[in-house]
Structure 1
Amino acid sequence: MTCRPRATTALIAAALALVLSGCGDEIEEAPSRPPVAGGAALGRLLADADAAMARGALPDAARMLDEARSLAPESPDLWVAIARLRLRGGEHLTALEAADRALAFGPDHAPALLLRALMVRDAHGASDALRWFAAARKAAPDNPDILAEYAATLGDGGQASAMLKMVRALADAAPDDPRVPWLQAVLAARGGEYGLARSLLERSGMAQREVPAALLLDALISLEEGNVDSAAATLETLAARQPANARVRELLARALLAGGREDALIARFGPEAALPEASPYLVMLVARAHERRGDRAAAAPLLARAYGPMRAGPVVLAVREGLPAPTAETRAALLAGNRSGARAGAEALRQRFPASADVASLAGDAFMGGGDAQAALTAYGLAAEARRPWPLARKTIAAFQRSGRGEVADLLLIRQVAGDTQTASAALALAERLAAGGDWAGAAALLDHAIRLGAGHDPMLLRLRLRAAQELGDKGGKARFAAVLAEVQPRTLKAR
């Protein structure tokens, strides 16, 4: 095991997990369609509905699918299309119902199995989804969409060798599919072969088409190769498109600091670093920028925050430019202390969009901000039926803890880490719980895994790993982690 405290490398592996999870962006835009059971008329309607969805004309797609339903109400292809339309329209929970109907009408229908695999991956993680991908591949062994998503999911689950094998199967089935070099680029970057990754990424053409996950990979490679200005420009574009993506903002801050643009970093992220929600890493980067400018008075309190104890419990997130209006309004109400207004707004949204997992999650945030953990759990549980990314799982865990159900919170955390092996912060959270219970061997294993994912810059993680080495009597590990921590830990800096 190696611990590289360089901040750029420290973010590479964790961000690549996001790259893998985003490699399906192209599939939603241009799915391959196998022959449709139900006749030429049904096939034309479904193809036209696909085209309408691709251009965002959801009402037109709905009208076409209603017509198709009158022709073949038990067609699994029809119900897959209905599920996809509902997903595009934000009706996540009724999309699940449509996917179930597709499988009821066609238990071995490959597109329905693929859709269910994707839904299980979103809600329960990569490991639970693999059996669904296996079933989908069995139903259609050479389907490029199935092979590509199967490969990505294997990568999400940390199975690099199996992922490579699946990418080769994709190459055999569809040699010209751009996802072949794209997935190979992700594998190469995760293996530290950045020159090869760059060549493969260019061959895929996905960055040129501005697929978000490909832009992120392009920026990561540029950072590692020292092309920090190019990385910053790409990350600025991504941050504007994904204002709630904390990882992209952290990478952008890192690129600005590496490029000697301290003034731009402070102007862009200084206000954010003052927020309670700011990550220790971002706070540290802003502090370093102040330090380089010789402003010890501004740097000292930020460094104290960055390397101090972790905060306990959730915080209300700030309002950011580009957020959807309902999210911005709810956050603004909570930040202003208007809990009843936030809750009323969330309830109104739930009445308007009862099938939306996003609205259910937002309602949970409002309930948590208002101190009603039980109502938050109900809302988060509804959202998790469609998808449960780490941010949602973390909030659900906090709600269980706040409601006095710590054992349930721990079980959910264990399940989350088992299903999502590529999120360093989740592994760190579980390591903290194991350490609190005296399981230092288990904590050490999780911390080592988090370091391999790129969290080796985190002083809190390193302190906990040093403590684990001490508790386990590992003298070599104790010396090694003490040395790494000394490199990462800044000198004491006091305001003058």
Structure 2
Amino acid sequence: MPHTTAQLSERMLRHIALALLCSLNLLTPHAALATDAKASKYYEDALVRYEKKDLEGAIIQLKNALQIDKNMLPVQMLLGKALLQSGDVVAAEVAFNEALRLGVNRAEVVIPLGQAYMAQGKLVPLLQQQQFNPAGLPPAVQIQVLLLRAAANSDLGDTRNALKNIEEARAIDPKSASSWLAEVPIRIRALQFKEAAAAADRGMALAPDSAEAWYQKGSVQHSTGDLTGAVASYSKALSIDADRVDVRVARVGIYVDLGQKKEATSEVTQLVGLLPGEPRVAYLQALLAEQDNRPVDARTALKEVVNLIDPVPPDYLRYRPQLLMLNGLAHYGLNEREKAKQYLEAFQKVQGNSAATKILAQIYLSEPNIDRAIEVLETYLKAQPTDSQAMTMLGSALMVKGQNARATTLMKKALQTQDAPGLRTVLGMSLIRSGQSGSGISELESAYKKNPKQTGAATALLNMYLKAGQTAKAIAVAEDLVKQQPTNAEFFNLLGMARGQSRNYPAARTAFEQSLKLVSTYIPPSLNLARLDIATKAYDAATKRLNDVLKVDPRNAEAMAEMAIISERTGKLPEAQRWLEKAVDVSGPKEQRWNLALSDFHLRNANASAALDAAKSASAKGPEELSVLMAYAKAQLAVGDIAAAKNLLMTATKLADYDPAKQVQIAMLQLAANNLPGASYSLDKALSGQADFLPAQALMAEVDLRQGDQAKAEKRAREIIASQPKRAVGYSLLGDISMARGQKAAALDNYRKAHQLEPSTETLLRLSRAMGDQDGGKAAAQLAEQWTKTHPKDIISQKALADGYARSGNLPQARLAYERVLKLDPDDAEALNNLANILLLLNDSGAIKIAEQAVAKNPGNAGTIDTLGWILFKNGQPDRALQLLRDARLRQPGNPEIAYHLAAALAQAGRKAEAKAELESALRSGSSFDGADQAKTLLKSLN
């Protein structure tokens, strides 16, 4: 059955870990729920035009489609490709970013988007932005990304990293010619002509019939003065691919140098028609005019060059040495020395030791002040060699940074020299901020004990108790504060927070309302009342409270964040994102909370690249904050950069010191990174801080088991049972160990004991899974049925029961079970999606409506979009189905079942070649999927 609920974790604590990560299998925003038939027809017509290279017509039709529905993912992707090929790279970037926003799989867009960046000279962003990280991409795409990065590094003058990128690409596929051919221009730019020739030869050997190989060979010959050989190689390239205008431009340059006026004039005339507005062609015209002694025509051509290049943004030209030199020479030919100097200086920085250096030297000689300016700049760079900011601000920035460090050091020393409650409070907070929360809380407790009226220590301690989940202690401190100062609105607000954390919502509301009675303009209790409204799903009331707060304080980031929560829970994901982005915008330069909230939001909605960007922005505000490091690590895990996540978690482990709760969280992330030694180290520190900390003990047993040390895991499990004989966790662990040993009877006994001690959903699921094959699954089903009867609101067990019915083919019971789940939670998109599949198999016409609801709840999930598309296809709505299936395919290109569904729709639409390609891709994956046999049959019919 397609898209059924994923199985729960085999281990209780791994389930907890996945809950903490909240990033590994969630959803993406912005999918279009419905597709317009007319818009779909515009798209299909545009696709035909695009394939026939009618780019202008394709773009028009795609824009017509977007006028009807701007959220059509396939339309945005095809529009980006058409715009890129037509040369409108800025608009192409916009279209590709829209496709990303709508949830396109990164592998589908990273190359054309990277080409758009390259064409705009956005090289540093291309190297820095997470969306261009090769990690997590298919091997063939990784190669292309690495070669793009190599070109970008080369343009930046970083030959070492450019060649490193080449080697990384070559390691993925040593037999590919592309890495050798990409190496050639890098070597030429570095004046390494011998290495360039060797790379060209290797590329030629691997791809002798490649136009690119002949072009690169010609480039080496051109650069080393073998002009005749270069012309021959360029001509061979053009015989293979006559549309390579870059090759023609290079060849005509040689014709001009060789004085082959006839050939040069003929070629330039053709190029003017092919490349109107191309500065290289205009400069060639100027050279030809000068050779013909036509100074007016030469000047006109040079003016065309500068008129074309001068308006180009400096950020683009900075990394285009050919254009910099060309414009410098053109301005020099027009006797515009100041402008020539600007371009030639920029060229010199990127590519020195060229003929243009002589012209630049002449300009310097005519300007007696330039040497002094250069000396000043050099002196400045020597003084601050590692600065990457504006040079005029470097000294001040470094000085300010230095003063802060000294001030921090002096502050700590001063606090440690005086044994007073007030200073101990500051010392405690200092320890907490450095990640030593256990020691910090001890200092706060000491300060509070010495002087209970030391409200600074009390409030700080109360907040730490709340963060640590020690609700009873927090309530006790808050009640003490309220008794001391019964007219203090802040203390009543704190009491409300403590009561709210204990889920005593009526008592919490009373405390917040009392706080407002004392000070009606006090914003925190208003925010907390809104949070209570959100907790009880009173979203309208919460929205009204928050709007009232924003009227009083339009820059209140807390209110904005709560508005984001409401928007997300009501399915308005773009609005939720905007609220969080507003919160980030209005927050201070050191405030990280909203960057982290934005990162978590993107993780929940499967936008890993955006999550990483948000985590990076938080890190820029405070890279050594524990919460930032952990958020950063989660985002790195989500994008597949395991090595980076491990490094971050190593630092986090050091900062967390011996805080057991924090170390357990870090260990869970280490397990997600498959770093068992790292997890073990974190847990050792946790147990060193608190030897009886049960979560750390249990997780350490899990780590032992995963490392294959069953004896050590068993020893830990039995120690847990000895110290906690009435808890289920020890017996659950013994059950897991028995399962790992293949001792199923012992595993069942332990799971039964765990469920008897602490009947819960978790212990039920473990026992049920262990009983799975008894009596054909009847025993497990009976156990689940009994549990759901006595726990009718346990949605997890209800879903597990429904999934079990679905897997066993009991479709009527599965339908009833999913309907019970939806009565408990009508917004459960997964249950909606699974119910839609059940209804499709039952030939129930209500499948479409349920599938549409699933997409509305999960508006970017490839599985739900595919389900709706497939149901529509099966129900005779091919146009709408095709558009949705294309959308799903772009979001999850590696899913063979989606590829099969799309192929079926394409075949029916008469697009047999495209259908065949999708089927071959699906079957080539080797993965089993529902419909694999039908896919094979369909492929045979298309051959």
Q: What range is the shorter-chain TM-score in?
A: 0.5 to 0.7
Partner residue, 2:596: 148
Q: 130, 134, 140: which is aligned to 2:581?
A: 134
Q: Which residue of the other structure, out of 96, 104, 118, is the alignment partner of 2:548?
A: 104
Inter-CA distance 195–165: structure 2 relative to 1 (3 Å threshold): closer
**Which residue of structure 2 aligns with residue 442 of structure 1?**
884
Do the aligned residues in 2 keep the contact of 1:320 with 1:328 (CA within 8 Å)? no
Contact 1:397 1:409 (8 Å CA) reproduced: yes
Tell me the amino acid that sits aligned with residue 536 of structure 2: E
Q: Distance between the aligned counterparts of 2:897 and 2:790, measured in 1?
A: 33
Query: In the TM superposition, what are the counterparts of 1:362-377 in structure 2 within 5 Å?
Result: 368-369=819-820
Name the CA shift for 1:139/1:322 in 2 (closer, same or farther; >3 Å).
farther
Moved more, 403-412 or 430-439: 403-412
Does residue 426 of structure 1 match 2:849?
Answer: no
What amino acid is aligned across from residue 576 of structure 2 in structure 1?
A
The structural deviation recorded for 1:115 is 0.8
Structure 2 distance, partners of 1:212, 1:431, is 43
Q: In the alignment, which residue of structure 1 is the partner of 2:647? A: 199
TM-score normalised by the chain length of structure 1? 0.54
Among residues 230, 243, 254, which one is paired with 2:703 in the alignment? 230
CA shift, 1:130, in A, is 0.9
SS of the residue corresponding to residue 673 of structure 2 reads helix
- Corresponding residue for residue 327 of structure 1: 793
Map Cα deviations across residues 87-109 of structure 1 (whole Å, 9 max, x no partner): 5xx5222x651342132243423
User: What secondary structure does 2:488 align onto?
Assistant: helix
Instruction: Kindly provide the CA deviation profile for residues 175-225 of structure 1, in whole angstroms up to 9, marking residues without a partner as x.
Output: 443232222212222232223323324544599527998676444322999
The 5 A counterparts of 1:150-165 are 150-165=598-613
Q: 1:161 to 1:328 in 2, by over 3 A?
A: closer
Does structure 2 conserve the Cα–Cα contact (< 8 Å) formed by 1:79 and 1:99? no
Hey, what does 1:464 align to over in structure 2? 901
Per the alignment, do residues 298 and 63 of structure 1 end up closer, same or farther by CA in structure 2, a change over 3 Å counting?
Answer: closer
Q: Deviations over 1:58-85 (max 9, x none)?
A: 5653342131121234544222112334
Q: For 2:929 and 2:817, how far apart are their aligned partners in 1?
A: 37
Matched letter for residue 390 of structure 1:
A
2:526 to 65, 71, 79: 79
CA distance in 1, matches of 2:533, 2:663: 22
CA distance in 2, matches of 1:405, 1:427: 16
> Structure 1 residues 47 and 451, CA, compared in 2 at 3 Å: closer, same or farther?
farther
Question: What is the Cα deviation at residue 159 of structure 1?
Answer: 4.1
Please show how residues 307-322 of structure 1 align to structure 2 within 5 Å. 318=784
**Whole-Å Cα distance in 1 between the matches of residues 23 and 745 of structure 2?**
23
What percentage of residue pairs aligned between the two structures are identical? 12
- Asked if the contact 1:319–1:331 (Cα under 8 Å) also holds between the matched residues in 2, the reply is no
Amino acid at match of 1:327: K
Q: CA shift at 1:149, angstroms?
A: 1.0
CA contact (8 A) 1:75 1:105 kept: no
Gaps in structure 2 of 5+ consecutive residues: 1-6, 8-13, 28-462, 469-486, 680-700, 708-712, 714-731, 752-764, 802-815, 934-943
| 1:298–1:483 distance in 2 versus 1, CA, 3 Å | farther
User: What SS class does the counterpart of residue 103 from structure 1 fall into?
Assistant: helix
Q: Does structure 1 residue 220 correspond to structure 2 residue 672?
A: yes
Aligned equivalents of 2:853, 2:608: Cα separation in 1: 26
Find out whether 1:209 has 2:651 as its counterpart: no
Paired residues of 2:489 and 2:519 also in contact (CA < 8 A): yes
AA partner of residue 630 (structure 2): W
The AA in structure 2 aligned to 1:100 is: K
Name the residue aligned to 1:477.
918
Task: Identify the residue that residue 390 of structure 1 maps to in structure 2.
Answer: 829
Matches of 1:213 and 1:145 in 2, distance apart? 18
Superposition deviation, residue 133 in structure 1:
1.3
Shift of 1:446: 0.7
Out of 492, 499, 504, the residue aligned to residue 45 of structure 1 is 492
Change over 3 Å in CA distance of 1:139–1:164 after alignment to 2: same
Matched AA of 1:222: N
**Residues 1:410 and 1:187: Cα distance change in structure 2 (over 3 Å):** same
Contact 2:833 2:850 in 1 (8 A): no
Measure the CA separation in 2 of the matches of 1:485 and 1:266. Answer: 36
Decide whether the 8 Å contact of 1:368 with 1:399 is kept in 2.
Answer: no
Q: Which has the higher Rg, Structure 1 or Structure 2?
A: 2
Report the AA paired with residue 61 of structure 1: A
SS at match of 1:124: coil
Partner Cα separation in structure 1 for residue 544 and residue 668 of structure 2? 34
User: Quick check: 1:184–1:200 contact (8 Å CA) kept in 2?
Assistant: yes
| 1:442 CA displacement | 3.5
CA distance in 2 between counterparts of 1:101 and 1:465 reads 47
Residues 406/155 of structure 1: CA separation in 2 closer, same or farther (3 Å cut):
same
User: 496, 509, 522: which one pairs with 1:62?
Assistant: 509
Distance in structure 2 (CA, Å) of the matches to 1:101 and 1:441: 42
Name the counterpart of 1:92.
Answer: 537
1:309-361 per-residue CA deviation (whole Å, 9 max, x = no partner) reads xxxxxx999469799945259989xx9xxxxxxxxxxxxxxxxxxxxxxxxxx
Q: Distance in 2 between matches of 1:53 and 1:442?
A: 44
Do the aligned partners of 1:19 and 1:216 also contact (CA within 8 Å) in 2? no
- SS where residue 222 of structure 1 aligns? coil
**Hey, what does 2:618 align to over in structure 1?**
170
Distance 2:465 2:547 in 1: 20
2:527–2:546: 8 Å Cα contact kept in structure 1? yes
Change (3 A) 1:319 1:483: same
Count how many residue pairs are aligned between Structure 1 and Structure 2. 365
The Cα shift of 1:27 comes to: 12
Q: Which amino acid aligns with 2:885?
A: A
Q: Structure 1 pair 316/265, CA: closer, same or farther in 2 (3 Å)?
A: closer
| C-alpha distance in structure 2 between counterparts of 1:197 and 1:397, whole Å | 38
Q: 2:564 aligns with which of 117, 122, 132?
A: 117
1:122 positional shift = 2.4
Given the superposition, is the C-alpha separation of residues 92 and 204 from structure 1 closer, same or farther in structure 2, using an over 3 Å criterion?
Answer: farther
Mean alpha-carbon deviation: is it higher for 168-177 or for 129-138? 168-177
Aligned-residue offset at 1:426: 2.5
Once the two structures are superposed, the pairs formed by residues 255-270 of structure 1 within 5 Å of their partners are: 263=743
> Aligned-residue CA RMSD in angstroms?
5.9
TM-score (norm 2): 0.31
How has the CA–CA distance of structure 1 residues 451 and 164 changed in structure 2, closer, same or farther, with 3 Å as cutoff? same
Provide closer, same or farther for how the CA distance between residues 69 and 395 of structure 1 changes in structure 2, counting only shifts above 3 A: farther
Pairs within 5 Å for 1:175-194: 175-194=623-642
Corresponding letter in the other structure for 2:593? D
Task: Say whether the 8 Å CA contact 2:24–2:606 is kept in structure 1.
Answer: no
List aligned pairs for 1:228-377, cutoff 5 A. 230=703, 263=743, 318=784, 325=791, 327-328=793-794, 368-369=819-820
Change (3 A) 1:367 1:449: closer
Which moved further from structure 2: 400-409 or 65-74? Answer: 400-409
Q: Which residue of 2 aligns with 1:241?
A: none
Measured in 1, the distance between the counterparts of 2:869 and 2:664 equals 31
CA distance in 2, matches of 1:148, 1:400: 40
Query: Which letter does structure 2 place at the counterpart of 1:220?
Result: A
